[in-house]
Amino acid sequence: MITIGVTGGIAAYKTIDVASTLKKLGHDIQIVMTKNATNFVSPLSFASIVKHPVISDMFLDDKNGEILHIELAKKSDLLLIAPATANFIGKLRAGIADDFLSTLVLACKKPIIIAPAMNSNMYSNTIVTENIAYLKSKGFIFIEPDVGLLACGDVGIGKLPSPETIVRLVVNTINSRKIKQDLIGKTYLITAGPTIEALDPMRYISNYSTGKMGYALSEMAQKRGANVILISGPTNLIAPAGVTKIDVKSAMDMYHAVLKYFDQSDVVIKSAAVADFRPKHFSDQKIKKGDDTFILELVKNPDILKTLGDTKKRQILVGFAAESTDLIANAQTKLKSKNLDLIVANNITNDGAGFGLTTNIVTIIDKNGNIDQIPKMSKDDLANIILDKTIAMSID
Ligand code: C5P
């Protein structure tokens, strides 16, 4: 059974579609509404779709003498709260249980997905963002709201995502329950994609990284229960549902973003292909053709991973090494100089390895000197092997 909690926001009408689609997919659905939610949508609309009476009263008489919120928490495979208001999120963060839905959440040990929807100023208020960050660290799964025209007339972040997006995350989460949930309570900071280093308003220097490995790692870590922060350079990929994605462009942007989230992370996997250099000067105006030769001066970017290695306290650090010669020796040198726990080395000249492909062939080396040669496999399967090794290193 899936239980859907509806709180008092204008987007509550969209949840009818979510309930209807999940019902058509064969799920048994129970709707719980807060008192305020019943002002936006009639419980009868939901009840006629899911074929169960809606619960909105804390003190319902149960004919079997059961304590309903405890029973429902046990019966549910997943709890979805859509839309979730700022008020409801604040209550959860504080552990307040003063109505049926908030009591149910506290009693529920199954995956809980929260889809916030509110005015953009409310959503970006630090009180709300801190509440969300706290709840994520406790294992709650959040769906990022969409950007668009809001009910209040403002344009910004805060719209409830489409019913299809919500349904996809619910179904994936239920399916992933069959996957071992061994990363619950852990925060994984994963970087992906290339960085781009601007020369002028029209041009930049970059590399061929597509971000596939980092996105596969993010998706698998999320499915295994981790709270995932994905810091991504520009790619064409869609962020896996349930992952917090931070978009960056340059190596300097990535540096600041990674440092910002480092303290709250348990594991950092740096699969991004970070540019080693950036143009010394950014030209505000388009650079003219001019002479037959053009000399570009570059300056070094900070080595993000080395900075983390120099300052880390408890975090497990995983680096990538794309090499074309002396794979093992070069990777071992990087492992030591950047103070890493693991390094994933690939010879980019091998068929089936490297940028843009769905497969990879790597050698994983750990700080204890173990060298594991992994045969050619999909980036998804490889992601799971890398995640397994991060757990093994945490136990060491
Ligand atoms: O030294 P090299 O660039 O080969 O190391 C690759 C590893 O270091 C990758 O994990 C990459 O994400 C990270 N890196 C970094 N900051 C840089 C360059 C590389 O974090 N400026």
Residue 346, helix vs strand vs coil: strand
pLDDT at 64: 63
Relative to the CA of 301, which ligand 1 atom is closest? Answer: 21
pTM of the model as a whole:
0.75
pLDDT at 395: 76
Q: Which residues are catalytic?
A: 152
Alpha carbon of 274 to ligand 1 centroid (Å): 6
Residue 386's SS3 state is helix
Ligand 1 atom index nearest CA of 323: 4
Closest of 273, 291, 144 to residue 211, by C-alpha: 273
Q: 385 alpha carbon to ligand 1 midpoint, in Å? A: 21
| 319 Cβ inside 6 Å of ligand 1 | yes
Predicted pLDDT of residue 61: 55
Name beta bridge partners: 116.
84
Ranges of the chain with pLDDT below 50: none
Query: Of ligand 1's atoms, which has the minimum distance to the CA of residue 320?
Result: 10
Judging by DSSP bridges, how do beta strands 267-270 and 316-323 pair with one another?
A: parallel
The best mutation among 305, 339, 343 to test binding of ligand 1, ranked by most ligand atoms within 8 Å of the C-beta, falls on 305
Look at residue 352 in the predicted model and tell me its pLDDT: 75
Residue reference for tokens 């010669």: 325
Our separate counts of H helices and E strands in the chain read 14, 19
Count other C-beta atoms under 10 Å from residue 31's C-beta.
25
Cβ of residue 272 lying under 6 Å from some atom of ligand 1? yes
Give yes or no for a contact between 101 and 7, defined as CB atoms under 8 angstroms apart: yes
Report the DSSP beta bridge partners of residue 112. 79
- The residues with which 347 forms a beta bridge, in sequence order, are 323
Ligand 1 contact via 117 beta carbon (within 6 Å) = no
Residue 358: what pLDDT? Answer: 81
Distance 322 CA to ligand 1 centre (A): 9
- Are residues 37 and 118 in contact, defined by beta-carbon separation less than 8 angstroms? no
191 alpha carbon – ligand 1 mean position (Å): 11
pLDDT of 114 reads: 98
Closest-lying ligand 1 atom to the alpha carbon of residue 307: 20
Ligand 1 and 305: CB distance under 6 A = yes
Ligand 1 pocket, residue 278 CB under 6 Å: no
Instruction: Express as a percent the part of the chain with pLDDT over 90.
Output: 84
Question: How many whole angstroms from 245 Cα to the centroid of ligand 1?
Answer: 20
Q: Which H/E stretch holds residue 127?
A: helix 126-137
Q: How far apart are CA 247 and CA 272, in angstroms?
A: 12
DSSP 12: G
